Amino acid sequence: MARILVQTNDSRTVLEERNVQLADINDGESAAGLLDRLERAIQDAERRLDRRSPRVRHLAAIVPVSDYRDVGA
């Protein structure tokens, strides 16, 4: 099973979606809910980062499932 994990730079977890399946993004309503939770988690992680010291922010990419093997290659 796949898992989505969003953490701050100091390794605090702000989102952990377990057992993510392809069906979760095939359905428009489910995909929208998942992206909404992901957006809020990233915003929360950025707010926690802003409260600490200024650091370089990292950009994450959302890649279609069919392309997952190409990530980091």
| 3-20 residue pLDDT tens | 888 888 888 888 888 888
pLDDT of residue 24: 78
**Count of domains forming the chain:** 1
pLDDT of residue 73: 46
Select the more confidently predicted residue: 29 or 72: 29
Q: Which of 23, 24, 46, 47 is nearest to 35 (CA)?
A: 24
Q: Residue 35's domain spans which residues?
A: 2-70
| 48-60 residue pLDDT tens | 766 655 555 565 6
Alpha-carbon distance of 40 to 38, in angstroms, equals 6
Select the more confidently predicted residue: 36 or 56: 36
Alpha-carbon distance of 31 to 24, in angstroms, equals 6
